[in-house]
Amino acid sequence: MDWQPHITVATVIEDQGRFLLVEEMAEGRAVFNQPAGHLDADESLSEAALRETLEETGWEVELTAVIGIYLYTAPSNGVTYQRVCFAGRALRQRADSPLDEGIIGPRWLTRDELASQPERWRSELVLRCIDDYLQGELFPLKLIRPRS
């Protein structure tokens, strides 16, 4: 059996108690997720996180910390994802930036607004990453070593 985990990145961006989320279509329904996506070839994890956030929300952000590294197997398809989740802060929205296909748009929600809609989560990692961020155990960006 040829098994390979999928390496993904995500960002948790907070501004005054609201979190930048992506409303997107997945399996025929509108769901919420962090700005997230797959690592591309010849790209660092940090570069991927910045790129995915811009492509999915139109927001330029600055990464400030690492929240955690998560292993998740999707019950819908059995695919295993390794997610590296970053914390960051919003810098500016680029209204001219086209969003990826399937993206409905960026949404700013409080933790409680998100928690009240579990049927709309892309996965359980959406709330878990925010809760881990809110607990405050963040790791320095230097935890992620640059490519050599």
CATH number of the domain where residue 45 is located = 3.90.79.10
Beta bridge partners, 86, equal 11, 66
Question: Would 11 be classed as within a structural domain?
Answer: yes
Per-residue pLDDT at 137: 93
Q: Give me the chain's average pLDDT, please.
A: 94
Domain count, the chain: 1
Question: Would 18 be classed as within a structural domain?
Answer: yes
**Helix, strand, coil in percent for the chain, rounding step 5:** 25, 45, 30
Question: Would 126 be classed as within a structural domain?
Answer: yes
State the average pLDDT over residues 62-82. 92
Do 141 and 65 contact (CB within 8 A), yes or no? yes
Instruction: Write out pLDDT tens, residues 99-148.
Output: 999 999 999 999 999 999 999 999 999 999 999 999 999 999 999 987 76
List the domain range (segments joined by +) for residue 28. Answer: 6-143
Per-residue pLDDT at 74: 86
Do 52 and 35 contact (CB within 8 A), yes or no? yes
Location of structure tokens 């292993």: 71
Residue of 61, 54, 49 whose CA lies nearest to 100 = 54
The enclosing H or E element of 83 equals: strand 80-93
Question: Residues 6 or more apart from 7 whose CB is under 8 A from it?
Answer: 38, 39, 81, 82, 84
Question: Would 29 be classed as within a structural domain?
Answer: yes
